[in-house]
Amino acid sequence: MKRITKIAVSAVALAMPVALVLSGCSSDGGNGGGGDNGDDNTLTVWAWDPNFNIYAMKEAEKIYQKDHPDFKLDIVETPWDDLQTKLTTLAQSQSFGELPDIFLTQNNAFQKNVINYPDLFSGLGDSGIDFSEFPKAVADYSTVDGVNYGVPFDSGTAIGAYRTDVLAEAGYTVADFTDITWDDFLTKAKDVLAKTGKPLLSGQAGSSDMIMMMLQSAGASLFDNDGNPTIADNAALEQAISTYTELVKSGVFVEVNSWDEYIGTFVNGSVAGTINGVWIVGSIQSAADQSGNWAVTNLPKLDGVPGATNYSANGGSSWAVSSNANVELAEDFLKSTFAGSTELYDTILPKAGAVANWIPAGGSSVYAQPSDFFGGQAIFADVVKFGASVPSNNTGVYYYEARDAVSAAITKIIGGADPKDALAEAQSTVEFAMG
């Protein structure tokens, strides 16, 4: 009997604080995430990186507040994968009232979301934003049937970043890796590996990032203009895959199991370079002991593929205005900041490394500032130049499915399967997914 009393007392003791927290939280429950918060001057935003896009949003808030002192942002930190889950859930349950005013979307997934869930978005056709001030390749990611749905934010312009000290040890400079083809790259990288023991590249096994960058550098895609998959009988794709296979087999490209290991390979110095979107410089710079020993240049281009260039992109994101937004305010805010303020880009570039897509910002003197980590190179000015030459890439609704199918094919090909068979299988997988 005594024991029961004791249990009851401890249960109540535990339940009390819980009840307090719960009642505190439920009082404002159901208030929604979005523009229905009853305040005409507050916008809710979903974004995912406090040091990058959230930071940029906060700076944009400060700039907009100069002319609109009552303006406020309520930024909710939401990783992209979770953001996508939320968008899907809200769209399928038709609970549009819970949408924020503005949300950030990965460029690769933008068209897929607009086409599958058009009710989530507000078109920006009448916003007065001049989309010709963004590179066409970038604005195209968030354009469906001629209507713009997103204001491009960060650039996914691809860079080749290499350790200058390791290259020097093998008798090379970064100039030897500029404007070259993948064949040249292979020869030189094998030489670097033989002389220094360090591979120049690494990446996640089973990821198609590298292949996709090669493909886009030649303006090629996994779909034709009508949206039909072109995975089988795609000369550019076959060339990209055979290059990639050669890179891996020669030991120049180290495949690791996870993203964290990939970052680890160059941060701990076992790999002497990487090729990725420019946002990777944040991770490169976390290796403080390698300061001054890095340089940035363009990508090798594919051999024997018509339209091949030394420029590509990976990643990048754009701001979307939701269907539940205070549309007028959201559009004016984006127009006056991300699509209209050089001051904003001048602030966020040096602090967060956010390279502008907005062309008028590219001429700013901030971009010409040398970076000590990259041996005094003005890397961002170079990246803006690269960005202007990136060929457009057709993404579409099934881009993720096609990428996954190609990833699976690459794993098989590296394991020894015939490339033609593996790609034909990938093609039929995507066709099956498309129904």
b/e per residue 104-117 (b: at least 16 CB within 10 A): bbbbbbbbbbbeeb
353 versus 396: smaller Cβ distance to other proteins: 353
- The closest of 32, 105, 47 to 79, measured between CA atoms, is 47
**Least CB distance from residue 256 to other proteins, whole Å?**
11
Tokens of 374: 């990259």
**Least CB distance from residue 77 to other proteins, whole Å?**
5
Q: What are phi and psi of 162, to 5 degrees?
A: -135, 155
300 versus 353: smaller Cβ distance to other proteins: 353
34 versus 362: smaller Cβ distance to other proteins: 34
**Least CB distance from residue 88 to other proteins, whole Å?**
8
Sign of CA dihedral 338, 217, 282, 288: negative
Task: Give the whole-angstrom CA distance, residue 60 versus residue 55.
Answer: 9
Tokens of 99: 């949408």
Conformation bin of residue 30: beta by default, left when phi > 0, alpha when psi is -120 to 50: left
Q: What are phi and psi of 225, to 5 degrees?
A: -65, -20
320 versus 413: smaller Cβ distance to other proteins: 320
Tokens of 410: 């690459």
Task: Give the whole-angstrom CA distance, residue 300 versus residue 210.
Answer: 12
Task: Give the whole-angstrom CA distance, residue 101 versus residue 71.
Answer: 14
96 versus 400: smaller Cβ distance to other proteins: 96
97 versus 197: smaller Cβ distance to other proteins: 97
**Least CB distance from residue 232 to other proteins, whole Å?**
32
- Write out the residues near other proteins by the rule CB under 8 A: 1, 3-4, 7, 11, 14-15, 17-18, 21-22, 25-26, 28-33, 48-52, 74-82, 85-86, 89-90, 92-95, 97-98, 260, 263-264, 267-268, 279-280, 282-283, 286-289
**Least CB distance from residue 49 to other proteins, whole Å?**
4
Tokens of 368: 């010409």
Cβ(278)–Cβ(122) below 8 Å: no
Tokens of 358: 């907005």
**Least CB distance from residue 73 to other proteins, whole Å?**
12
94 versus 225: smaller Cβ distance to other proteins: 94
**Least CB distance from residue 353 to other proteins, whole Å?**
9
**Least CB distance from residue 25 to other proteins, whole Å?**
5
SS3 143: strand
187 versus 268: smaller Cβ distance to other proteins: 268
Task: Give the whole-angstrom CA distance, residue 206 versus residue 421.
Answer: 17
The residue count of the chain comes to: 435
- Half-sphere exposure of residue 51: CA atoms within 13 angstroms, side-chain side: 7
7 versus 194: smaller Cβ distance to other proteins: 7
Q: What are phi and psi of 149, to 5 degrees?
A: -115, -5
**Least CB distance from residue 58 to other proteins, whole Å?**
13
Task: Give the whole-angstrom CA distance, residue 194 versus residue 189.
Answer: 9
53 versus 393: smaller Cβ distance to other proteins: 53
**Least CB distance from residue 95 to other proteins, whole Å?**
4
Q: What angle do CA 368, 371, 179 make, to 5 degrees?
A: 75
